Amino acid sequence: MTQTELQQMISTKVIVGVDFSGQTLEKVDFSGCRLERVNFKGCEMIHCRFRKAKISWSDFRYVNIQHGTFEEAEIEFCDFYRAFLDGVIIFTHSKISNCSFNKTYIGESAIIRKNNLVGNRILQQNKKLYEKFLSDWHTYGTGERINDVGKISDWNPADALDGRWAEAEEIYKNFNALWTSKGFIADGNWAYVQGRRMERNRMIKELSLSKIPLKTKLVNIWHIISNVFSDVMFGYGESMLKMVITYIIIVFVFAWAFTSEVSLLQYGEALYISLKNMAGMDSEVIREISPFVDMLNVVQTTIGIILTGIFGFILGNKIRNQ
């Protein structure tokens, strides 16, 4: 395609089914265009603009984007597998939905943020949409998937679906590293929590896969339990609300235990004693009642000290985020 033909096509603001694969596009302005089923596979794109463009079902695999802007663009059902985004790339107010960032390299100056992800989710989290993305690429996308050496990719949707949680885990952990290194601490913490949840889903999925050794499955069961515990009780150290709820529940549970073991105690008094124990303050009322009650005192005081430390950690994170 000549430069004149390209400019004529861009002037219509509608680009459908065009193959730019392997080409070098420099200072091409697709701003305001609607791009559907466009093949950019393996392109080298330098200072290209997609401002306010609407891009769907397009192939950005293996692309090398050096500087550019996707400001206010709407991007959906695009594949950025092994894409290389380097230099200053602007995503301000862009909306990215149902796109795959599996194995995508995003440089430190590519300003993509959490609020660019529509619904705060990535494609791999939605099984139905991911299956559509994989299976219907021939119909809605750019046709047969060709890899970086010009051969038909050796893959099938079923295997890709089995590995979607592993992909999601890797993507979120990459986002965590990217955003934290840039100083976007709140975004990084959110990506960290999502990564841990995807890790749990991945281990749960592996329990049903025959290719995973039994020893690995047994180890995963323990990791799943500890993962669930950390999420429910503390939000992986990121949720102040879960921390407070955990603290309150423990106070009430131990208060009930004290009233069950010490018949003279009213529940209100037991609640006060339980609260004191959480702060490491002993109470003479239940001292030396029985070895079991003494053990409850020690256990609750220990839990209280641990929770206070975790509370301080979470509070410190919240203050740092501000």
Distance of alpha carbon 72 from alpha carbon 309, whole angstroms: 43
Express each pLDDT in 83-137 by its tens digit. Answer: 999 999 999 999 999 999 999 999 988 989 999 999 999 999 999 999 999 988 8
Q: What are phi and psi of 70, to 5 degrees?
A: -120, 30
Buried b (16+ CB within 10 A) or exposed e, 107-130: eeebbbeeebbbeeebbbbeeeeb
Write the DSSP symbol of residue 27. S
pTM of the model: 0.86
Distance of alpha carbon 149 from alpha carbon 60, whole angstroms: 15
The H-assigned helical ranges of 122-213 are 127-135, 137-140, 157-162, 164-182, 185-206
Q: What are phi and psi of 290, to 5 degrees?
A: -165, 160
Own/partner pairs, 136-141, CB within 8 angstroms, 24+ separation: 137/57, 137/79, 140/37, 140/57, 140/77, 141/37, 141/57, 141/58, 141/59, 141/77, 141/79
Q: What sign has the CA pseudo-torsion 270, 273, 275, 280?
A: negative
Note the pLDDT of residue 270. 84
Distance of alpha carbon 68 from alpha carbon 44, whole angstroms: 12
Which one-letter amino acid corresponds to residue 119? G
The SS3 assignment for 4 reads helix
Note the pLDDT of residue 294. 82
Q: In the chain, which residues have pLDDT < 70?
A: 154, 262-265, 286, 288, 321-322
Note the pLDDT of residue 148. 72
Q: Walk me through the domains of the chain, giving residue ranges and CATH numbers.
A: 1-160 (2.160.20.80), 163-230 (no CATH), 241-321 (1.10.287)
Distance of alpha carbon 80 from alpha carbon 99, whole angstroms: 7
The SS3 assignment for 104 reads coil
Neighbours of 299 (CB within 10 A): 13
Note the pLDDT of residue 290. 77
Note the pLDDT of residue 322. 62
Contact 6, 26 (CB under 8 A): no
Question: Nearest to residue 91, comparing CAs of 1, 201, 182?
Answer: 182
Note the pLDDT of residue 210. 86
Note the pLDDT of residue 131. 92
